[in-house]
């Protein structure tokens, strides 16, 4: 995006105005936040130069007080117990887990399970042949993909991509599913690249954590659509951070519900924790995954000039930021290096 368009001075001004609205609740005097602000303004300006629509956003003076929020309390445990509309994790993931714990299991055993789901196999082959991995030659079989990527890593990817297919009947007026998954894919790519910068291993785990970080939000749309509409109407009309509005209106937020959902599915603790704490990473200081997902989610929001679903950028959690050792330059370089990976991963996973 930085190289395929040339914004006019007026478009740069409009980009900065858009960024100012998106960062209304952030301290742009902090070096990292200032960098995120500039990334947002630049991407918005280039989006305008490419003919993209930049939405109008509310301009609140401050966050609403608790008494200003309508009340529509819900019980997240009731949502998890409900059979209506709440998806179950596909059986193929359980089958993969059963295979990989067997000492004598081979890459062909894993490949056989994946290959039985032709849609999943096609998803994974498109992903491993994208810029996310940048293998020097084409990977044509699942068994070869398992050999190169690793059994547990490909199983994690399989789990993440199968979840995408569980939320296909959410009303369009609530959310654009394509935009929602684009944001989640971008968060996953950015998290894995930020992790590499600080020497963290297992980028697939960070990718899937990013891919699933908003699964609680999709579950809300599917199980309590009317209350979800109320939350989004409020933040559009009055101005509020999404997860703050959820806590004040519903009594819980999508991060809490997402973590509970992943726990119900019996997924690994690092994935559960990353999703549960991606808005409150300072409550999990011993684990780096929530901090990386929090930062990647914020960076993905800054790079998104559509502001779909969440008009305001969340304040950067400085405890999490300091814990990673990342620098503002890391944010700029990660945004640049991730562009092609995000575009190709979206093409691979969304089939567009």
Give a yes or no: residue 279 inside a domain: yes
Q: 133 and 60: one domain?
A: no
| 13: CATH | 1.10.3210
Q: 326 and 253: one domain?
A: yes
Range of the domain at 310: 9-87+173-350
Cβ atoms within 10 Å of 215's Cβ, excluding its own = 25
Measured distance CA(107)–CA(198) in Å, rounded: 30
Q: Which residues contact 210 (CB under 8 A, 6 or more apart)?
A: 184, 185, 186, 187, 188, 189, 190, 191, 192, 293, 296, 297
Give a yes or no: residue 282 inside a domain: yes
Measured distance CA(16)–CA(14) in Å, rounded: 5
Q: 266 and 221: one domain?
A: yes
Give a yes or no: residue 280 inside a domain: yes
Cβ atoms within 10 Å of 346's Cβ, excluding its own = 18
**Domain final position from 120, 138, 165:** 165
Q: 229 and 184: one domain?
A: yes
Q: How many domains does the chain have?
A: 2
Closest CA to 163 of 141, 180, 146: 180
Give a yes or no: residue 243 inside a domain: yes
Half-sphere exposure for 86 (CA within 13 Å, toward CB)? 20
Q: 49 and 80: one domain?
A: yes
Q: Which residues contact 291 (CB under 8 A, 6 or more apart)?
A: 281, 284, 317, 320, 321, 323, 324
Q: 158 and 210: one domain?
A: no
Q: 111 and 82: one domain?
A: no
Measured distance CA(111)–CA(282) in Å, rounded: 39
Closest CA to 259 of 245, 246, 278: 278
Q: What is the pLDDT along the chain (352 residues), one digit of tens a residue?
A: 555 679 999 999 999 999 999 999 999 999 999 999 999 999 999 999 999 888 888 777 677 788 889 999 999 988 887 655 556 677 887 888 888 778 877 888 888 888 888 888 888 888 889 888 888 899 999 999 888 888 878 888 887 877 777 777 777 777 788 888 899 999 999 999 999 999 987 788 898 899 999 999 988 988 899 999 999 889 888 888 999 999 999 999 999 999 998 888 888 899 999 999 999 999 987 889 999 999 999 999 999 877 666 889 999 999 999 999 999 999 999 999 999 999 888 887 776 4
Give a yes or no: residue 4 inside a domain: no
- Helices 107-115, 91-100: axis angle to 10 degrees equals 170
Q: 220 and 76: one domain?
A: yes
Q: 78 and 207: one domain?
A: yes
* Continuous H helices in the chain: 9-22, 31-49, 76-81, 91-100, 107-115, 118-128, 142-149, 151-164, 177-197, 203-212, 215-223, 225-238, 242-250, 254-264, 269-276, 289-303, 318-324, 328-350
**Domain final position from 127, 146, 165:** 165
Give a yes or no: residue 3 inside a domain: no
**Domain final position from 129, 149, 165:** 165
Measured distance CA(163)–CA(215) in Å, rounded: 9
Q: 283 and 196: one domain?
A: yes
Q: 298 and 180: one domain?
A: yes
Q: 145 and 294: one domain?
A: no
The single residue listed with the structure tokens 């959310």 is 175
Measured distance CA(6)–CA(50) in Å, rounded: 9
């Amino acid at each position: 995006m930085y190289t395929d368009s040339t914004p006019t001075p007026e478009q740069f001004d409009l980009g900065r105005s858009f960024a100012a609205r998106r960062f209304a609740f952030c301290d742009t005097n902090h070096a990292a936040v200032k960098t995120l602000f500039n990334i947002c303004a630049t991407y918005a300006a280039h989006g305008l130069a490419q003919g993209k629509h930049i939405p109008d956003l509310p301009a609140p003076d401050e966050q609403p007080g608790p008494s200003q929020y309508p009340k529509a309390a819900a019980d997240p445990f009731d949502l998890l117990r409900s059979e209506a509309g709440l998806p179950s994790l596909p059986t193929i993931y359980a089958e993969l887990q059963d295979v990989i714990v067997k000492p004598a299991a081979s890459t062909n055993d894993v490949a056989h399970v994946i290959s039985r789901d032709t849609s999943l196999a096609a998803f994974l082959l498109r992903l491993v042949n994208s810029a996310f991995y940048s293998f020097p030659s084409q990977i044509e079989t699942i068994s070869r993909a398992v050999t190169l990527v690793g059994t547990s890593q490909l199983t994690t990817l399989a789990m993440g991509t199968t979840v995408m297919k569980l939320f296909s009947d959410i009303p369009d007026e609530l959310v654009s599913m394509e935009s929602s998954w684009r944001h989640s894919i971008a968060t996953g790519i950015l998290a894995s690249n930020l992790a590499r910068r600080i020497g963290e291993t297992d980028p697939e785990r960070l990718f899937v954590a990013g891919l699933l970080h908003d699964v609680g939000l999709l579950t809300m749309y599917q199980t309590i659509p009317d209350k979800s509409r109320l939350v989004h109407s409020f933040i559009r009309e009055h101005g509020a951070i999404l997860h703050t509005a959820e806590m004040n209106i519903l009594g819980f937020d999508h991060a809490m519900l997402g973590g509970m959902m992943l726990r119900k599915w019996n997924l690994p603790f690092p994935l559960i924790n990353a999703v549960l704490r991606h808005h409150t990473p300072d409550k999990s200081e011993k684990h780096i995954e929530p901090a990386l997902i929090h930062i990647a989610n914020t960076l993905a929001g800054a790079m998104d000039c559509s502001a779909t679903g969440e008009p305001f950028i969340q304040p950067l959690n400085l405890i999490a930021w300091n814990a990673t050792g990342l620098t503002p330059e890391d944010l700029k370089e990660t945004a640049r290096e991730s562009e092609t990976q995000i575009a190709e991963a979206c093409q691979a996973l969304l089939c567009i």
